[in-house]
Structure 1
Amino acid sequence: MPEPTPVTAAVLPALPPLTTQGETLIELGIHEIAGLTAAEIRGFAKAAGAGGAVQGGLLTVHPDRAPASALAPLLRRDDKQGFVVVDMPDVDLFTPLDTITVPDAPLHVLGDIDRGDHMANWSPDEALPALAAQGRTPLLLTEGIHWVLQQPAALERNHCFMTIGSRLRKANGALDARTPALWISNGTGRDGRERRNAPKAGWCWAGNRHTWLGFGSTTGRHLPDA
């Protein structure tokens, strides 16, 4: 397993309050994608921000309610629209690993998100057990998109991240070797030059290492106290 990589990435500011995050979701129309009302978003954010859930967390919509294909185009960077790579038409079939429990609710809050810069140049196969040993769980692709929607600075050139909590299962039950990630397009290949600097949802092989990709993770997924 590789040694931790020294990083020089900028320190990210604190996430906005959950109520502010809720307003962002509403402004982007994500409540409509998810079949929720603006009042439901605001009510959950208020309850979660009142101390019932994790302070300083990230407000996210359940992936069954707001799939990656609908969220990725809402990303923006340098006035460029986000997109899913063309060779990932099955992006919405990537579901949480069996080891990940997502609350059975339209919304939840992620605690203590980390981009995993120190794990750059690790492969997903190496990173997954290491995160578990640290008491952390990898982000889902939709959770990673929510993070960048709320905090665009989380996606930085040479400091992007994988979301290996989402995987595709083949008909025989084995995991597809692709692992989702979020990074910034160079406008090459099938991305097209017009998409240079646009945020993108793509994939990497589970056994490959990339010096510019960390591993997004969280300490857990939470609901407000009843």
Structure 2
Amino acid sequence: MRAELTEIPAVLSAATEFEHQVETLIAKGYAWTAGLTDEQFRALVAPLAAHVAELPGPPALPEAPGEPPRPIPFVLVVDRTLVAPMRAAEQIERRGRRAIVTMLTAEDLDAFTPIESVTPPAGGAYLLLDVDLGWSTRNDPPARALPLLEAQGRSPLTLEEGIALVTHQPEAVATNAGFSLLGSRRGDRRVTAMWISRGSPKLGWCFAGAPHTWLGSASCGGRVGLA
């Protein structure tokens, strides 16, 4: 899977990668959507830069085909208080192809909120730390994967966090290698997920009890906010 990743050079430092992620969001119109100028947006997320100082940059590349991807040190997340999930999903682009949102309306996405065990930091923006794409949980249905992750002290990614992950790291999702977002639910059997369909990144859903050999469950080691 990681053998495909070519967009972000391995030589970037953590500080440079953080700046890259900030500018990616600005280029995709996040500041404007949030009602901020570009400089106001940079100022909003600037305190998070201090948390990446001791972190590594992006994973070394390339990795051998078929090997599990290495954890991603951090991902900058902008939550729905600033940018609605559908608007954010529409900005995902991988290899020149925009994301497809299927079987989900804007109202559906708004209804997916964090589960009881997940409390994202307040303030509009935060960092995910130590992001794993879930290869160890492939073929485990979400209902089985969630307690496995929590037993390891890990937290499942929310809908917005999965969107952020693929926004910054488009190659995190690949053919026959997607991931579920167990950290958000809407009170039914559906769990949102990201995968590749006909060459395009796709945001859809699967049933919580359905296993897929090509679908793991993404998780993180922690979250850090602006406060």
- Name the TM tier (shorter chain): 0.7 to 0.9
Offset at 1:121?
0.1
Offset at 1:44?
4.2
In structure 2, give the amino acid aligned to 1:59.
Answer: L
Partner of 1:145: 163
Give deviations 1:50-93, integer Å, cap 9, x for gaps: 237883411111133222211111112332211210x2221221
1:204 to 203, 206, 210: 206
Alignment of 1:85-104 (within 5 A): 85=102, 87-89=103-105, 90-104=108-122
Distance 1:201 1:207 in 2: 18
Q: Is the 8 A contact 1:54 1:222 kept in 2?
A: no
Please state if 1:10 is matched with 2:27.
no
Offset at 1:153?
1.1
User: Structure 1 length normalisation: TM-score?
Assistant: 0.81
Q: Is the 8 A contact 2:122 2:225 kept in 1?
A: no
Distance 1:210 1:54 in 2: 36
Flag as ranges the 4+ runs of structure 1 deviating above 4 A. 11-16
Query: Identity percentage over the alignment?
Result: 39
**Quick one: structure 1 residues 109 and 40, their matched pair in 2 at CA, closer, same or farther if it must change by over 3 Å?**
farther
In structure 2, the gaps of 5 or more residues are 56-72
Distance 2:54 2:194 in 1: 24
How many residues are treated as equivalent by the alignment? 200
**RMSD of the alignment, in Å?**
2.1
Q: Is the 8 A contact 2:94 2:171 kept in 1?
A: no
Partner of 1:119: 137
Partner of 1:181: 193
Please state if 1:72 is matched with 2:107.
no
Q: Secondary structure at the match of 1:112?
A: strand
Distance 1:45 1:19 in 2: 10
Distance 2:164 2:51 in 1: 21
Distance 1:54 1:216 in 2: 23
